[in-house]
Chain A
Amino acid sequence: MRIEEYKREIWTCNHCAMCTGTVTDEGGFYKTCPTYEQLRFEDSSSRGHNIMAFYLLEGSLKYSKEVADCVYNCTTCASCEEICKPMGNMIAQMGGSALKTLLPRIMRPLGAELEPIQSVAIVEAMRADCVDLGLQPEPLKKMAGSIEKNYNPYGAPHANRTKWAEGLDIPQTADTVLFVGCSIAYSRQEIAHATLKILKRAGIKFAVLPDEWCCGSILLRNGNVDLAEKMITHNVDLLKEKKVKRLVTSCAEGYMGISKDWPQLAGELPFKVLHISQLLAELISGGKIKFKKPINSKVTYHDPCHLGREMDIYDEPRVVLKSIPGIDLVEMYPTEHAAWCCGAGGGVKIANPELALDIGAAKIPFIKETGATVLASACPFCKTHFMDVMERAKETIEVKDITELVAEAMGV
């Protein structure tokens, strides 16, 4: 079993229940696990998953369809890990999110571990076991099949990957590569167009590679480890062959996958990886982006889990939004490290779409409380999902990616 690798983690979890419904005003959390808040039994919480893993190792519980159904309800939002960080809220109180990120890095060489229980990795290992045993839910099997055949999870031909760029005269070689990602290439082309216009206007020379494959993140989140490795190897070889020096992506999940997962499977990457929000913040502060048109709207920002909690990028998207003339950025509560997940991640939108929508809908009151008319995010998958959530709830709140808002304000 792949969970054997996490035996120490599984035993180290004390099952204290912090990851199950905790509210702490001092830590900024208002409840933690989005799936538990919907399903309300322990087997849908991170603690429940860790206990299941314990008994799977111990032998009292066997892998089954029921086990698979439970572990595939997790959005892998990592909220459980965030609240589990040792003394994390106290550290955050003393020095904010920055200190919380920095301190473990300082302490680690001194032999002190301030890491949380790796609950997401445990779930992903359980999912990998489910894949090995043929227990993965059918919609996710289908998704993996599509990636194997077409190198994208949307069932569309690989040849269509750069259809959005037809006639736009984008080079295929440059030091900087825009890694578009499947969700943007096949589903949210408006983000691709916005990104393209911004970069061109800012004078950035960049390429888009037609032979880019799925980044593998969705596969790793869902336990398809071997297939993910194939995707990652292809992409890394391609980027090395093209002698790429900098990779930029507008996809939060892709950014996490490339930054965190790729080096684990393919070794150190010979190029720098940036999320578009980082590049935009840099371009704005360097005066390379000029705004011509104010956007007179109240905007609230949804932190994508894979960009925020997983990659500690909280400030840059906010810097970008605040720099746009006319935008009144209002924070939701909870936010940043304690932000609620949209519900789509970890394959939940594919395996259990109703649950995904319920989780997303649970965030609507927090959004409405801000009085915002626009919900901004920095992840194509969050955008798609919130559009579906708003449509089901018949809400008029507009959902936009930060690149769209920037492009609009630049007048490009």
Chain B
Amino acid sequence: MEAVVSKNIVKGLEEIVGAKYVRADDVIRWTYAIEDFAGTFFHPLSDKYGPPDIVIKPHSAEEISKILKLANKHKIPVIARGGGSDMTGATTPLKKTGGMILDMTDMNRVLDFQEGLNAVRVQPGIRWGELHHELAKKGVTAGCQGPHGFLGATLGGGIGGNCFSINSPKYGWLNENILNLQVVLPNGDIIETGSLANTMVKDWYYRYCNGPDLVGIFLGAAGAFGVITEFTLRTYPIPEFSDTLAYTFPDTDSQIKFVFKLEWHGYVTDLWGIAYYTLPDSLKKIIKPLIGERDIAIFATEAYDKDIFKAQKKAIDKMAKEFGGIALPVEGLTRALGISIINQTEWMGGGTFGKVMGPNGTDTCSIAHLPQWQKVVGKALDIMHRDEDALSGSIPLIGAEHFFLFAQLLGRGGVANTFAMTPADFMEPEKLKQAQDMYCEIVESYMDTGYAALYRIGKESQFLTKRFKPEYISFMKAIKKTLDPNNIMNPGVHGLGLEEE
């Protein structure tokens, strides 16, 4: 597949950012033709995606402004990309449109931190781990710890992709913590939102002022309406007291009621739940002799004061007993091992996915309100059990089963997350096709229960957008047409920016 961008355009870009930061050779084009496999094992195999024509590394909003003006003039698609950890093809060009990728990872500085403001202003190319490192020096935390160990991901990508995070039950999602944005609009204008819209404000950060909340339309938009070049994020003091606790419950209903109450009272920082009936037989054999056929909630709780912390844990224990909960002695163990479920290392990405979950393990992660959860899991399990043979990339850590399903993960407001791993064997095309069909069927089943699809907002958003109300789609299209009449901004995300087919 040949690059379609002319030498003049390359020259124009080189004049903007410098020749060192513009690449249009085949090696770079194909290197940027894939993101994280985990959610989209389709795309390297499908005709849908292709390589970019050019990759550019910008260093300022002004450079991006000039790039967008040039792109508009020549009607070239522009895709802003961070760590490339997206799982939905959000930052991979469509084969039929091609385009230029803005690799934002050189815009990775902490710009401003003022003690007492509880906010930090950063560039979007900063990676999660680097932000934690910088904030720890100031004795604060961003609350959100990032997308479950994928510390190579950037915050800009997290904003564009509506990133869910470790600690979201307490601190909310990343985008709930955004105060101001600086955005380069498709026409090249650079705007600032919230308090920074006022020319007299230089370093005071607040979102809800100076008119309507215009931040929201850029969050989760995957660059469809502009390129975010700076943002302000809330910060929090680091809690001095923290423990990992666990309880078992006689059934999922009791477990869910406990989780709801725990979250309602603000006692939970992060929580993982396991429903016994969803486990593979190999794990059931290990768990049953230890705790019986009971469901587990394992969670972290934190406080800033010793006495409050003690009282909080006492209240949690009382609450658990109310629903038949029995404490598991994990507190001392995790403390002795120096680990916690809220560590950034919770997942650690890397080979954990490929080697432990099975080659090309693909997750069908989606979110829903907690009461829906059992229904959704039931359907997913039915599908997976029906065609187990298709999932041949086994998970050696937990036995012979070919799939794994994390039962629930809580977000603030009773948001549950179902995480079904469907590792496929790419060496056998027939099995791979079966696994892909199963993947689609599981995601469709999620959507039919009213799930909002956390990981389905990129160019794999067809599962979601076909369920949108027509008026909502019209409204999004109207915004798109106003801001980006030439459809240059990441065409294909949310089904936007493509000519009617």
User: Which residue numbers of A lie inside 8 Å of B, CB to CB?
Assistant: 7-8, 11-27, 29-30, 40-43, 47-48, 51-52, 54-55, 58, 60-62, 64, 66-67, 70, 83-90, 93-94, 107, 111-117
Knowing A17-B349, A19-B152, say if A93 contacts B338 (CB, 8 Å).
Answer: yes
Knowing A40-B105, A60-B1, A87-B352, say if A8 contacts B359 (CB, 8 Å).
Answer: yes
- Interface residue from B1, B44, B350 paired with A116 (Cβ < 8 Å): B350
- Interface residue from A14, A88, A94 paired with B353 (Cβ < 8 Å): A14
- Minimum distance in angstroms from A327 CB to a CB of chain B: 30
Q: Could you tell me if A16 and B349 are in contact, using CB atoms closer than 8 angstroms?
A: yes
Q: Could you tell me if A93 and B129 are in contact, using CB atoms closer than 8 angstroms?
A: no
| C-alpha gap A26/B348 in the complex (Å) | 11
Q: Could you tell me if A51 and B354 are in contact, using CB atoms closer than 8 angstroms?
A: no
Q: Could you tell me if B36 and A24 are in contact, using CB atoms closer than 8 angstroms?
A: no
CB closest chain-A residue, reference B35: A15
| C-alpha gap A89/B359 in the complex (Å) | 21
- Interface residue from A7, A51, A114 paired with B30 (Cβ < 8 Å): A51
- Interface residue from B28, B33, B83, B355 paired with A114 (Cβ < 8 Å): B355
- Minimum distance in angstroms from B386 CB to a CB of chain A: 26
Q: Which residues of B contact A85 (CB under 8 A)?
A: 350-351
- Minimum distance in angstroms from B400 CB to a CB of chain A: 9
B426 at the interface (CB under 8 A from A): yes
Q: Could you tell me if B351 and A52 are in contact, using CB atoms closer than 8 angstroms?
A: no
Q: 5 tightest CB-CB pairs across the interface, nearest first?
A: A17-B152, A23-B129, A84-B350, A16-B349, A12-B354
Q: Which residues of A contact B44 (CB under 8 A)?
A: 54, 58
| C-alpha gap A264/B426 in the complex (Å) | 28
Q: Could you tell me if A70 and B360 are in contact, using CB atoms closer than 8 angstroms?
A: no
Q: Enumerate 13 A-B pairs (CB-CB under 8 Å) in ascending A order.
A: A8-B359, A11-B359, A14-B353, A18-B152, A26-B343, A40-B105, A41-B57, A42-B31, A52-B27, A52-B31, A60-B30, A66-B27, A89-B348
Q: Could you tell me if B360 and A21 are in contact, using CB atoms closer than 8 angstroms?
A: no
Q: Could you tell me if B348 and A88 are in contact, using CB atoms closer than 8 angstroms?
A: yes
Q: Contact mask B203-231 → A, CB, 8 Å, 1/0?
A: 00000000000000000000000000000
Q: Which residues of B contact A42 (CB under 8 A)?
A: 28, 31-32, 55, 84, 103
- Interface residue from B31, B129, B427 paired with A22 (Cβ < 8 Å): B129
B102-139 residues with Cβ-Cβ distance < 8 A to A are 103, 105-106, 127, 129-130, 132-133, 136
| C-alpha gap A199/B105 in the complex (Å) | 51
Given contacts A16-B349, A21-B83, A67-B27, 8 further A-B contacts (CB under 8 A): A8-B359, A14-B353, A18-B150, A23-B129, A25-B344, A55-B33, A66-B25, A70-B27
Q: Could you tell me if A115 and B351 are in contact, using CB atoms closer than 8 angstroms?
A: yes
B390-440 residues with Cβ-Cβ distance < 8 A to A are 396-397, 426-427
B10-46 residues with Cβ-Cβ distance < 8 A to A are 23, 25-28, 30-38, 44
Q: Could you tell me if A24 and B344 are in contact, using CB atoms closer than 8 angstroms?
A: yes
**Residue among B32, B84, B103 with max Cβ neighbours from chain A (10 Å):** B84
| C-alpha gap A61/B85 in the complex (Å) | 22
Knowing A8-B359, A61-B27, A84-B351, say if A18 contacts B151 (CB, 8 Å).
Answer: yes
**Residue among B27, B44, B127, B337 with max Cβ neighbours from chain A (10 Å):** B27
Knowing A16-B150, A83-B350, A93-B339, say if A117 contacts B355 (CB, 8 Å).
Answer: yes
A-B pair count, CB < 8 Å, reads 186
- Interface residue from B26, B34, B132, B356 paired with A54 (Cβ < 8 Å): B34
- Minimum distance in angstroms from B483 CB to a CB of chain A: 29
Q: Could you tell me if B127 and A22 are in contact, using CB atoms closer than 8 angstroms?
A: yes
- Interface residue from A13, A16, A58 paired with B152 (Cβ < 8 Å): A16
Q: Could you tell me if B345 and A20 are in contact, using CB atoms closer than 8 angstroms?
A: no
B153 at the interface (CB under 8 A from A): yes
Q: Which residues of A contact B355 (CB under 8 A)?
A: 12, 86, 113-117
Q: Could you tell me if A25 and B353 are in contact, using CB atoms closer than 8 angstroms?
A: no
CB closest chain-A residue, reference B426: A11
Q: Could you tell me if B345 and A90 are in contact, using CB atoms closer than 8 angstroms?
A: yes
CB closest chain-B residue, reference A81: B351
Q: Contact mask B49-66 → A, CB, 8 Å, 1/0?
A: 001000101000000000
| C-alpha gap A40/B108 in the complex (Å) | 12
B340-374 residues with Cβ-Cβ distance < 8 A to A are 343-356, 359-361
CB closest chain-A residue, reference B45: A58
B68-119 residues with Cβ-Cβ distance < 8 A to A are 83-85, 103, 105-106
| C-alpha gap A41/B132 in the complex (Å) | 23
Q: Which residues of A contact B33 (CB under 8 A)?
A: 51, 55, 60
| C-alpha gap A12/B359 in the complex (Å) | 5
Q: Could you tell me if A116 and B351 are in contact, using CB atoms closer than 8 angstroms?
A: yes
Q: Which residues of B contact A11 (CB under 8 A)?
A: 359-360, 426
| C-alpha gap A7/B353 in the complex (Å) | 17
Q: Which residues of B contact A13 (CB under 8 A)?
A: 37, 354
Q: Which residues of A contact B346 (CB under 8 A)?
A: 90
| C-alpha gap A93/B35 in the complex (Å) | 29
| C-alpha gap A93/B427 in the complex (Å) | 36
CB closest chain-A residue, reference B394: A111
**Residue among A51, A67, A114 with max Cβ neighbours from chain B (10 Å):** A51
Q: Which residues of A contact B426 (CB under 8 A)?
A: 11
Q: Could you tell me if B345 and A89 are in contact, using CB atoms closer than 8 angstroms?
A: yes
| C-alpha gap A22/B152 in the complex (Å) | 5
| C-alpha gap A26/B296 in the complex (Å) | 27
**Residue among B85, B106, B337 with max Cβ neighbours from chain A (10 Å):** B85
Q: Could you tell me if A16 and B27 are in contact, using CB atoms closer than 8 angstroms?
A: no
Q: Could you tell me if A17 and B359 are in contact, using CB atoms closer than 8 angstroms?
A: no
CB closest chain-B residue, reference A55: B30
CB closest chain-B residue, reference A56: B30
- Minimum distance in angstroms from B141 CB to a CB of chain A: 12
Knowing A8-B359, A17-B36, say if A43 contacts B151 (CB, 8 Å).
Answer: no
| C-alpha gap A85/B352 in the complex (Å) | 7
Q: Which residues of A contact B32 (CB under 8 A)?
A: 42
Q: Which residues of A contact B36 (CB under 8 A)?
A: 14-17
Q: Could you tell me if B26 and A66 are in contact, using CB atoms closer than 8 angstroms?
A: yes
Knowing A23-B129, A85-B351, say if A51 contacts B31 (CB, 8 Å).
Answer: yes
| C-alpha gap A37/B125 in the complex (Å) | 14
- Minimum distance in angstroms from B404 CB to a CB of chain A: 14
- Minimum distance in angstroms from A18 CB to a CB of chain B: 4
- Interface residue from B26, B338, B349 paired with A94 (Cβ < 8 Å): B338
- Minimum distance in angstroms from B492 CB to a CB of chain A: 20
Q: Which residues of A contact B133 (CB under 8 A)?
A: 23, 25, 30
- Minimum distance in angstroms from B130 CB to a CB of chain A: 4
Q: Which residues of B contact A54 (CB under 8 A)?
A: 34, 44
Knowing A17-B153, A52-B31, say if A113 contacts B356 (CB, 8 Å).
Answer: yes
Q: Which residues of B contact A61 (CB under 8 A)?
A: 26-27, 30
Q: Which residues of A contact B351 (CB under 8 A)?
A: 84-86, 88, 114-117
- Minimum distance in angstroms from A133 CB to a CB of chain B: 15
Q: Which residues of B contact A67 (CB under 8 A)?
A: 27
| C-alpha gap A88/B149 in the complex (Å) | 11
Q: Which residues of A contact B55 (CB under 8 A)?
A: 41-42
Knowing A26-B344, A27-B345, say if A16 contacts B38 (CB, 8 Å).
Answer: yes
Q: Could you tell me if A40 and B31 are in contact, using CB atoms closer than 8 angstroms?
A: no
- Minimum distance in angstroms from A49 CB to a CB of chain B: 9
- Minimum distance in angstroms from B167 CB to a CB of chain A: 14
Knowing A40-B57, A60-B30, A116-B351, say if A24 contacts B356 (CB, 8 Å).
Answer: no
| C-alpha gap A19/B84 in the complex (Å) | 12
- Minimum distance in angstroms from A261 CB to a CB of chain B: 22
Q: Could you tell me if A22 and B35 are in contact, using CB atoms closer than 8 angstroms?
A: no
| C-alpha gap A54/B41 in the complex (Å) | 13
- Interface residue from B23, B51, B84 paired with A17 (Cβ < 8 Å): B84
